[in-house]
């Protein structure tokens, strides 16, 4: 169905329509699902929003892993609420993607057989409780920086989903900062765990914004269509500028010797992540790729009877309706 839809759209990409479409984008009008759109716009949205939805779903795994081991009842309740929020974000985003003519089942199948990606960050393990603080603070912190501008993205359903997601992400980042602060101010052993979490997760968090601008294949077109509002490097710099003073406030060492305030630029300089590691992780070779996909495949298989049951009910209702007519 997706392939058919894309093919039929391709025939409609005439220059006049394209120009009128771009003019709407330039006037900051929202594009809605039933409006005409170029095939490339639709495909890029399906790729980006779908990848985002998958990230929210897969992103539950590293944190869900710690729900049963949270140090207090309060931390457990907070973490449980956060992980449930991520499931909700996945659902808003799958709904937004479905408005583009692709079903949630098709999207899931594309995730499970490797045709679609999810964020690189979730291929790193959460080894101790401090990692859970660092994930909330750094990973949700990076997500907020990426997603706040997306509230103004040109596609209506995506921008509306982002407004709600961002509200919830703010709570996530604050609870993460609070958890890591507690560790950083705790015993020497706890402080060491906090430092270790920041040291391990810093560069993976920087990678969340995507490759450097010179290697970003989609940025130019996505920005012209206002699917993306900023380049990857612009957002990464914003994250570094926001986070370095927070690391200092926590009394932790900076995770990168290259971090230095640059008076002339009015920004922190920092070292590039190891981009070969990034490309390796997104190709499927990160520390947890196999486990993450195995967990999602198992969930999909284990849930088959629920989907079958729901479909059987829908089929029965449809048959009853036909019989009554």
CB of 275: closest distance to ligand BYC in angstroms? 11
Say how many C-beta atoms besides its own lie within 10 A of residue 33's C-beta. Answer: 14
Q: Is 98 in the site for ligand BYC (CB under 6 A)?
A: no
Say how many C-beta atoms besides its own lie within 10 A of residue 77's C-beta. Answer: 12
Which tokens is 233 given? 């490097």
Q: Is 218 in the site for ligand BYC (CB under 6 A)?
A: yes
Which tokens is 278 given? 């990034």
The torsion of the CA quartet 171, 173, 179, 182, rounded to 10 degrees, works out to: -110
Residue from 153, 222, 237, 243 touching ligand BYC (CB under 6 A): that is 222
CB of 114: closest distance to ligand BYC in angstroms? 11
Of all residues in this chain, which one has the CB nearest to ligand BYC in the complex? 59
CB of 252: closest distance to ligand BYC in angstroms? 21
Residue from 86, 98, 106, 256 touching ligand BYC (CB under 6 A): that is 86
Q: Is 146 in the site for ligand BYC (CB under 6 A)?
A: yes
CB of 133: closest distance to ligand BYC in angstroms? 13
Q: Is 47 in the site for ligand BYC (CB under 6 A)?
A: yes
Q: Decide if 79 contacts 70 (C-beta within 8 A).
A: yes
Long-range (24+ apart) CB contacts under 8 A made by 251-256 are 251/184, 251/185, 251/191, 252/184, 252/191, 252/194, 252/195, 252/198, 253/195, 255/198, 255/199, 255/202, 255/203, 256/202, 256/203
Burial class (CB in 10 A: 0-12, 13-18, 19+), 312: exposed
Can you tell me whether residue 200 is helix, strand or coil? Answer: helix
* Closest residue by Cα to residue 233 from 189, 276, 270, 282: 270
CB of 126: closest distance to ligand BYC in angstroms? 12
- Stretches 10-18, 113-121, 242-250, 305-313: which one binds ligand BYC (CB under 6 A)? 113-121
Q: Is 210 in the site for ligand BYC (CB under 6 A)?
A: yes
- Stretches 68-76, 138-146, 177-185, 251-259: which one binds ligand BYC (CB under 6 A)? 138-146
117 Ramachandran zone, left/alpha/beta (phi>0; psi -120 to 50): beta
Q: Could you tell me which residues come within 8 angstroms of residue 43 by beta carbon, excluding any fewer than 6 positions away?
A: 6
CB of 284: closest distance to ligand BYC in angstroms? 11
| Contact positions with ligand BYC (CB under 6 A) in 263-292 | 282
CB of 21: closest distance to ligand BYC in angstroms? 19
Q: Is 48 in the site for ligand BYC (CB under 6 A)?
A: yes
Q: Where on the chain is the footprint of ligand BYC (CB under 6 A)?
A: 47-48, 51-52, 55-56, 59, 86, 117, 119-120, 139-140, 143, 146, 207-211, 216-219, 222, 228, 232, 282
């Amino acid at each position: 169905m997706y392939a058919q839809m894309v093919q039929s759209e391709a025939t409609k990409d005439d220059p006049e329509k394209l120009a009128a479409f771009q003019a709407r984008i330039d006037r900051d009008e929202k594009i809605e699902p039933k409006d005409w759109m170029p095939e490339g716009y639709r495909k890029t949205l399906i790729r980006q929003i779908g990848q985002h939805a998958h990230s929210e779903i897969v992103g539950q795994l590293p944190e869900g892993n710690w729900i049963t081991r949270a140090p207090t009842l309060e931390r457990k309740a907070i973490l449980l609420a956060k992980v449930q929020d991520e499931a909700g974000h996945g659902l808003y985003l799958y709904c937004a993607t479905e408005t583009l003519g692709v079903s949630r089942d098709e999207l899931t199948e594309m995730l499970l057989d490797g045709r679609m990606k999810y964020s690189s960050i979730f291929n790193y393990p959460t080894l101790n409780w401090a990692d859970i603080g660092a994930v909330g603070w750094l990973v949700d912190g990076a997500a907020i920086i990426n997603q706040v501008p997306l509230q103004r993205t040109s596609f209506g359903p995506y921008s509306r989903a982002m407004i709600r997601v961002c509200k919830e992400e703010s709570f996530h980042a604050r609870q993460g900062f609070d958890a890591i602060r507690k560790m950083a101010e705790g015993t020497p052993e706890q402080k060491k765990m906090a430092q270790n979490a920041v040291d391990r997760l810093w560069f993976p968090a920087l990678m969340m914004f995507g490759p450097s601008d010179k290697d970003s294949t989609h940025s130019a077109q996505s920005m012209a269509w206002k699917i993306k509002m900023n380049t990857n490097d612009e957002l990464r710099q914003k994250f570094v500028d926001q986070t370095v003073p927070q690391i200092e406030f926590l009394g932790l060492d900076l995770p990168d010797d290259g971090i230095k305030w640059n008076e002339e630029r009015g920004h922190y300089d920092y070292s590039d992540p190891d981009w070969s590691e990034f490309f390796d992780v997104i190709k499927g070779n990160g520390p947890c790729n196999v486990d993450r996909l195995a967990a999602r495949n198992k969930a999909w298989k284990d849930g088959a009877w629920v989907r079958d049951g729901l479909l059987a009910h829908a089929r029965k209702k449809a048959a009853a309706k036909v019989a009554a007519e």
